[in-house]
Amino acid sequence: MPRRPPKKPDPALDLSTHLLALADLPTPLDPDTLFPRAAPVELEVGSGKGLFLSTACTARPDRNFLGAEIAGGYARLCAAKLARLQAVNARIIHGDATYLVRSMLPDACLAGIHVYFPDPWWKARHRKRRVLSEIFLQHAGRVLPAAGQLHVWTDVEEYFNESMELARATGLFGAPREEQPSAAEHDLDYHTHFERRTRLAGAPVWRAVLERNDRAAVCERVEPSAHPDSFGPGSASEK
């Protein structure tokens, strides 16, 4: 489905509390330091228009929610939603979530990771851009403690099956359990903006949650200097 450019948020809205730039954050990054109140932190990878972040932070005041969004326009839109809610337990980072997870986050620092409708990158030569790669899933296992949860929802069956197989191959997760969609009586009842689009179009969605087991992680945090030039906090887009 084609994507329209995001709306510009009200320029009078102060986004400085809710919008963070990946390039300005320290490495390693303790995510607890981004919130005024201590609580388990859950990360959403690719927050888009921010429906999940804004509903989750309202429904679960006992948790802190951190989004990472590579497109600047969407990150700002998301921050505007959080600013309007005056959310104390949600922040959005403008930047590459794969860099954040691989190079910045310390071991076992998150209670959950949410990946909803990641871009499928259909063309073979673009496949390496998929967020749910072998390396990302190994690091997802590294930053989640035992019993931490990884949620994966997508409308692309092949991507879903591939990522479940890659997660299984890490040896760090239990078997995927199917998650159920909520009844949607209202536009905002959907889990994410893409979930709404997909369900309203009558297309299927694959949903799973995987629980981190207690095996030791299979990788270490990748020092930023070890990355190839094309990979780093500066690769965020201004879209």
Ligand X SMILES: C[S@@+](CC[C@H](N)C(=O)[O-])C[C@H]1O[C@@H](n2cnc3c(N)ncnc32)[C@H](O)[C@@H]1O
List residues with catalytic annotation.
Answer: 119
137 near 166, Cβ under 8 Å?
Answer: yes
Beta-ladder partners of 44: 67, 114
Positions touching ligand X (CB under 6 A) are 45-48, 68-71, 74, 96-98, 116-119, 131, 192-195
Strand 64-69's sheet: what is its strand order?
19-21, 90-94, 64-69, 41-45, 112-116, 149-154, 206-211, 177-178
Query: Token pair of 89, please?
Result: 């337990």
The torsion angles phi and psi of 141, rounded to 5 degrees, stand at: -65, -30
How far apart are alpha carbons 222 and 225 in whole angstroms? 8
Q: How far is the CB of 153 from ligand X (least distance, A)?
A: 7
| CB 36 to ligand X: min, Å | 24
Backbone φ and ψ of 103, nearest 5°: -115, -20
Among the listed residues 220, 230, 184, 16, the one whose alpha carbon sits nearest the alpha carbon of residue 105? 220
Residues 165 and 131: beta-carbon distance below 8 Å: no
CB nearer to ligand X: give 70 or 208. Answer: 70
Instruction: Spell out the residues 6+ positions from residue 207 whose beta carbon is closer than 8 angstroms to its own.
Output: 151, 152, 153, 178, 179, 180, 181
Provide, rounded to whole angstroms, the least separation between the CB of residue 159 and ligand X: 11
CB of 215 to ligand X, least distance (A): 26
Q: Which is nearer to ligand X, 57 or 68 (CB)?
A: 68
Min dist. Cβ of residue 179 to ligand X (A)? 14
Q: Tell me which amino acid residue 179 is.
A: E
